[in-house]
Amino acid sequence: MRLDKFICKSTELTRNEAKKLLKSGEVRVNGEVAKNAAMQVHENNSITIDGQELTARTSRYFMLHKVVDSICSNVDEVYPSVLNFIDVDKAFDLHIAGRLDADTTGLVLITDDGRWSHNVISPKKECKKTYRVWLRNAIPADKATELIEHFKQGIQLQGESSLTRPAILELVIDSDIPNEEPNNATNEVLLTITEGKYHQVKRMFAAVGNRVVGLHREQIGAIKLGELAPGEWRSLTEEEVSLFI
């Protein structure tokens, strides 16, 4: 990690304050004065400010129930960043492990551990993400098997050279409504994908002539949003963190 980042992580200082401190010559790495903010250090180096040894804070891991009209970005734009919801010190030093669109709700993982978030988002890791999807056009029961198979075989998205990876499509059928085969149709489905292409879920349904009118992420790997209310957040448990170590 860069020296200025290490200082920020282990003190209350901002990146600019850490850089000023470095210029002042008060920081030593393994006993030597260090002024280069970009110098690479690790936790077993001895890093001192004015003779006081620093210990890096452990990484932080959170989940948030994202609401509509908030954005997965480290800066506020047309809508506020989801990081505004995380009421912790230096929330904007955190980053989002797998973005959602402004109009998508649900589970967002947030951390300052780059290696951990890589394990969540890298396509190579094939981490499953499950979305509840509401569609403009209901899927009739007699078309379901064909569509499920199509999603499993892969969808050709516009502008992509290869098919999407096998996805699991499940129809959500309201069990209170008596089954009126073959016309029993549903607008609500669950979709599990292992990639995170730009607007992937919306584009997958567009490619089969449908349109997503509501999108909500319920699960990432084995981490479930559960009962967390919209706009609420919590720290991940040790067990949840360990899933992506």
Residues that bind ligand URA (CB under 6 A): 100-101, 104, 199-202, 215
13 or 208: CB nearest ligand URA: 208
CB 75, min distance to ligand URA, A: 18
27 or 193: CB nearest ligand URA: 193
Phi, psi torsion values for 47, nearest 5 degrees: -120, 125
CB 134, min distance to ligand URA, A: 13
CB-CB contact of 72 with 108 (8 Å):
yes
From CA 144, how far away is CA 160, in angstroms rounded?
Answer: 25
CB 17, min distance to ligand URA, A: 36
Residue 6 neighbours by CB distance under 10 Å:
23
CB 93, min distance to ligand URA, A: 24
**Distances in whole angstroms, Cα of residue 77 to Cα of each of 80, 81, 102, 110, 164:** 6, 7, 11, 19, 30
Burial of 151 (0-12, 13-18, 19+ CB in 10 A): buried
Task: Tokens 């949003």: give the residue.
Answer: 225
45 or 192: CB nearest ligand URA: 192
Catalytic option among 101, 112, 174, 176: 101
CB 26, min distance to ligand URA, A: 45
70 or 200: CB nearest ligand URA: 200
Nearest alpha carbon to residue 226 among 129, 105, 107: 107
63: left (phi over 0), alpha (psi -120 to 50) or beta: beta
From CA 192, how far away is CA 167, in angstroms rounded?
Answer: 6
3 or 108: CB nearest ligand URA: 108
103 catalytically annotated:
no
Nearest alpha carbon to residue 49 among 19, 24, 28, 23: 28
Task: Tell me the catalytic residues.
Answer: 101
